[in-house]
Structure 1
Amino acid sequence: METTEAERHAAAVVDRLWRAYAPYQRGRNTFGDLQSMLAILVLAEFVESAGAPEDEFVKRWSRAVAEAQGRISPLVDLCAAMRSAGSHPAFPVSDVEKLDITFLDAGATSDDVPWLVAFLTALTQRPGLAEAGLAAVGEMLLERHVQEGAFSAGEFYTPREVVRLLVESVSPRPGDRILDPACGTGGFLAAVAQHIAEAGRVNGAVFEAHATDRSNPRLAMLNLAIHGVDRPVVDSSDAVSLFQRRGAGRADRVLSNPPFNQRIEDSHLVDWPFGQPPETSANYAWLQLAWARLSESGLAAMVMPPGAAWSGGREAEIRKRMIDSGTLLSLVALPPNLFAPHTAIPVHVWILARDKARHLPVGSANDVLFIDASSLGTQVPRHPRVLTAEDVERVTGRLHTWLDSPRTTPDETGFSRSVTHGEILGNGGSLDPRLYVDVERKQPATAPGPGPDLMLDALDRYDEATSESSADLRRSFAVCQRLAHGGIATRRVPLANLVSGAAEDVFGESAPGQLVAGPSGSLVRAGDYVDAGVPVVMPKDLTGSGFSVTDIRHITDQHAARLARFRLNLGDVVLARRGELGRCAVVREGQRGWVCGTGCFVLRPPAQLNADYFAAYLRSPEAREWLEAHSTGSMTMKTISLTVLGELPVVLPDLGTQQAIANAMNRLDEHEELLRGQLALTREMRGNALKSILSDS
């Protein structure tokens, strides 16, 4: 069977499973759903491949499927099938009870897994797992959960194309020991298993996986089992404790996408090879851990935020020592929006070697390859950017060609360049690819623009996207109206009462939040700002869709560490305290660790207040009018105090309704962006149309 045909089958199966599951997301806690689905896939494959008619798990599985097809809850028989299969010595997961599968819970009822009937029915239709392949279906289902916003891991979910780029960059071989110290859902190790299987053998490889989010190990084990890793074991850990495990073996390949800019505790307890990383960011803890765990001929591929390439202070000193010691083989800059919807920021891939001399010809161990792939990939409206197979091949092909002969591999303008350690250290140890890769010359201004056919094709794609977006909007607002008119009382609660937890009469006892004003002018003076460092958010940096970095200002890492109280966390809401009142933005992964500036407030929402709903409410005419009516200052520069802000009456529906409203408003923002893009393209076509038509005549 051709690979393309198998992929089409897998896509059809996943689409069918998703449509069966999707209606049961709203109004319930979906945590654990994906884990249960992957467990069912593992069980279904095991029944098909290893089961005999007389096996208890085959009988109970068949009964469960028949019950689902008859619209009867299959919960009892499905649980029995899973436990029976789990006791079989060939079952790919060693202890199913430790997987914390929702439907195996002793107290679970059909209400806890209402999608089960539809899911099992869809799974048994054709094409099925046999035609599609278990690994492909599991991978695509995980990806669908991420794209649809139904699942979020503590570590980033890494897109398949980025995973493939890292795997092919370090080329793991049969028999290699493979480590991912922050494995998330196990995507890297799953891809390595597939890569090694293509070379003929998987069993010789040893897989070691750890997760920083305690909810991920079980999901990662299932994902690895789906990809042919026999009885995988994944535990929870962190960079410091992993470094302290002196008995851990060396790894031939390390691949990971650890959490960006994560705070690190007890780093002083470790004898770091290149220096103690700052407590405010674990980036250089992960990099040093990866290098330290490598065997003598080992390679590591690590996904890092761009700031790690040029950060100052203690990190800059660590970076210089790493460069001077010859740990860095290559740095690849990837484009933005690959990790949407979780973050839009671009990322870098660091390729490290324990001993560069083992991977480069004699006399080349002081060279580093920079690849600027930031312009690669394709993106359609409302979807993440995607690297194509050709993009991946271009990057990895250039890397492997350079490894064979750095001195004879020519630089490629606008894409790659080989640089010596001396040049890097001469730039203060900065690894910003823009310093080393020459910018590709742009086409002359007189070059013709795209022809009418191409622009009309683009307009057609916009029409399809806006039509789909309109349908999504209609569904989202229908949900909002149904919830808002479902008899649930809506209250107006002062913001200060919500933050402090004094609004218990609304939702009962809940964890309090926090509302603080940005640092005073004496804590951040005009002379404290630097060219690069930790961004400081001012009112001008807040936009209707997030944060603008066009003119954002920075302070040093050391200064930011002294302002820990004002550092931004994921899910915080930053509000303008002056100027255009109601301006605000929700902190995403890309802004974690930034600093709230003097002209802003930062709200850490309590458990019963959805951050995106609150931001939407702040931007509403009702909230803006209230803020303006209670502000002081001139007509051109209005100001609101922290005390007055605390009196803001917040319209507070239940949490489920808040989430539905937030989703609808986000859909509306996306729809507006589509329309703006369509209008801009139409205007561009108007400007180019006559010239294009006449030039063809």
Structure 2
Amino acid sequence: MASQSDHLTAAEISRLAGVTRATVSNWRRRHPDFPQPSGGTEASPSYDRRQVEAWLDARGRLPARSARDDFRAHLRRRTPADVEAVALFSAHLAGLDEKDRARIAALPDDELLESQADVFSPLAHPANPSHADVPAPLLRAAADVLLGEGPLAVFDVLEEHTDAPIGVRGTHPTPSALADLLADLATTGGLPAQSALDPACGSGRLLAATATRLKRHARVHGQEYRAVTAAQAKARVAERSPKASVDVRTGDSLREDAFPDLYVDAVVCNPPYGDRDWGHDELAFNPRWAYGVPPRSEPELAWVQHALAHLNDGGQAVLLLPPATASRSSGRRIRSELLRQGAMRAVIALPPGLAVPHHIGLHLWILQRPEANRPGRDTVLLMDATEEAAADHSRAPDETKLHDTILSVWKAFTAPTGFTEIPGTARSVAAIDLLDELVDLTPARHVRTAPVITPDAALRHATGLTERLKAEVAALTEASDIGPLSTAGETARTWRTATIADLSRGGALAVHRGMRASSTDGIPAELAERSVLRARDLIAGAPASGTAHELQLADPFTIEAGDVLLTQIVGPQGVAGRVAGKEDAGCLLDNSVFLLRPDPGRLDPWFLAGFVSAPDNVSQATTGTSTHQLVASRLRVPLLALGEQTAYGRAFRKIHELRTSARSAAKYADETADLIAATLSGGALLPQGVELP
């Protein structure tokens, strides 16, 4: 009888062949020679792996077997303890250099298990007191993936076999842009940070971002209640900051604090929200509640005090919190104490769309543990950044602009020279002025004012915007002329296709992706000042905005005009992409972007860009559960003559120009409408038919 790992479900067949589940169902119905089920159930049959691979191979649909495929085969039907063992093993290897990784991976089975005895000790329990049951071939398969693609690639596969879904108890991953912002705020304007803690670190994105901003040989600590995710966090931090000392532990931070005696310079946290079962009753007399016992309905204020309890004097904490935390009546007493004792430094309101839940604008709280010889600060920064968004409100905010604006305001507030109010955006408010009957810290309540603008300047500005809007509308009208299209007949056209992997092997194109450095080693001087094209730039349709120093690129790759650029992460609207133009040429490639460089004698770049970004094509080339990632090698391209490609390419280019013009026109329409509405309501301008008395 074949082992369980020798069977494949329909979903695994689709992943193996790089097609959709619907395609596998069609094969079963249309091809009598498709292998018959050999296991599973009637509702979820399984198929013999060897028969399926032979059938796919005979039709040229069997891709070369990868280390990930072997790892998936070894993981099938493994126990949760085995999955945790792989996670711990991978996190351990992530903290080693390449030489030690290769040495451990090459050990015989017995020596491999023996060498990892201490690593597996957290899994020991009465029913499984040793590491002897962990299969050595499973560890070796994980090591092969790690050596070839890095530690995080192992966890991409482990996510497919982990039963703890994202979203449990209100937990969600922190987007990279927000992680960078929180990390910069936590390490700016306070103590020179050499140690950090994230008590709800999840997969470690926020903790890793913070670690890269600490001094060399920093101490980094994290806690996460899911064992596999905690191991992923440790691997991520070790990969991003190999010189740091990393300690990530498993458990519930509020109920079972893994670091009761730890004090650090910076705490960052994106805590679970709306969790009423956070341990209110059993923690009622906990010494961490120096500012008041958090009500059952205020778990966020428990996390705030947990963060403050782990800070050194003068250390800073930055938390991402729901906006209601700033105003709920049940938290008024604790907010009052935070103000009275000088622990509250800033509340910053963010625009919606940055993180889950996307329809709500979250708040950033910046806190500081008051120094023993200094009772606290007299003022609190209140900033409303909700307007720092794209003009087209259906799109995500401009994250780069938002990051730069908030960080510059925070630096100005913490500078010794004093803070100048930014009307309508940011104010420095005396703590005593916030201690009213509501103690409402919602920034909009305190900073929203009418724009300060003279009537003559308002008229000039409104006139200029109106003229620019008319020009943009004219450009949009011109861009909407895509050209005459014709029908393909009664049925849609079909064609033979080839994968990007096939085209790459045949020399028709090359596939590249930027790489992040694992250290702070410098990059070549001639590239140091170049901009870096990131995924957020493609999504916003903006020019490259990253810097080589900020992103610590390894082996920088330079973009050329005619390259096809695609985001690696697949969002709700699919992938964003474009053909590189003159403004992109010479920029460097970030690791969040795929670059396809076609041979112009064989592939038209706009033809290629149009088909590889098509929704159906992207769907069948997407992997992942919580985060959907594009596997560029699986994208399929029609095999057409160059003349036909050029015709399709012209159409796809016009579509791109239409989208760009629509985005620009929408931006100026919103800007013009907002200005005129504000100046009319503020009395600076008068509508037609109204005269001054």
Normalised to the residue count of structure 2, the TM-score between the two structures is 0.47
Q: Could you say which structure has the higher helix fraction?
A: 1
TM-score (ref. length: structure 1) = 0.47
